[in-house]
Chains A and B, each alone.
Chain A
């Protein structure tokens, strides 16, 4: 049982940062709605701040690792005659049944994903500033909730596309690590 260095980074990017970010959304939405209804104690407000801060850090780590570590491996140009399985973009574009995962999936993912950190950073800063006073700012609170939903949508599109792309053309290569030896 072995895994490549590039696979490890892809797992950290997608199943680590990305999935944790997506999993955190329901909690953020619940707390922001609850605070708006006046159902949150001051001690809980601090926890929500830390929670949103963690989401913001996860969102930025996800897009930065994606764009500057994984994506260069994905889009590497294959030399003539190379085995395309090591060049995911070229591999996907080489067959009519898979080209859509690049031309729609990756082209959408690589851009829309950046909406998530922008949106959740705004939400976090607004919550740090207003805290439970958001309860008295109905229009602001609703707008903040829209941005939370938007960040979720952007991250979900990116996550789904990334998972499917990695299924058809996994990012592989680099140093090989042996996890377990077979019997």
Chain B
């Protein structure tokens, strides 16, 4: 995913490298996917759900969303540090991002959550 893509060389045309955008897109997908995984995990395991209670009145939802946001931001920082100044081959990044997004939608849909 991090190989230089000669067809979109930023050095040649003065355009900004696509790595910053690729990192943001993939990180957002990772964050959404984490939300889905944590939703399923919290629903499937009562003991895990108890660990997700950061604010008692909101219940496990507080931990699910806080952890997903933390994972999203951490992934964004790490990917940005690696990619922001270079061009990356976008196709595999976008395929991975859209697969993660589709899974995140599935994993937050209650009939699917109840399968686990």
- A-side interface residues toward B, CB under 8 Å? 63, 67-68, 71-72, 75, 103-104, 107-108, 110-112, 114-115, 118-119, 121-122, 125-126, 129-130, 133, 136-137, 139-140, 143-144, 146-147, 150
Contacts and interface: CB of A to CB of B under 8 A. Distances in A.
Given A108-B109, A140-B18, A114 B35 contact: yes
Given A103-B110, A137-B15, A140-B18, A122 B55 contact: no
Interface in B94-116: 94, 97-98, 101, 104-105, 108-111, 113
17 contacts: A71-B58, A75-B58, A111-B39, A112-B108, A114-B69, A115-B32, A118-B31, A119-B28, A129-B20, A130-B16, A137-B8, A139-B94, A140-B22, A143-B25, A143-B94, A143-B97, A146-B101
Q: Which of B24, B59, B72, B94 has the most CB of A within 10 A?
A: B24
Nearest to B31: A118
B90 interface: yes
A137 B39 contact: no
Contacts of A104: 110-111
A126 B21 contact: yes
A114 to B, nearest CB: 5
Interface of B: 8, 13, 15-16, 18, 20-22, 24-25, 27-28, 31-32, 35-36, 39, 55, 57-59, 61-62, 64-65, 68-69, 72, 90-91, 94, 97-98, 101, 104-105, 108-111, 113
A145 B32 CA distance: 16
Given A111-B39, A115-B32, A119-B32, A136 B13 contact: yes
Contact of B58 (A67, A111, A114, A139): A67
B97 A67 contact: no
A40 to B, nearest CB: 17
B21 A137 contact: yes
A72 B35 contact: no
B60 to A, nearest CB: 10
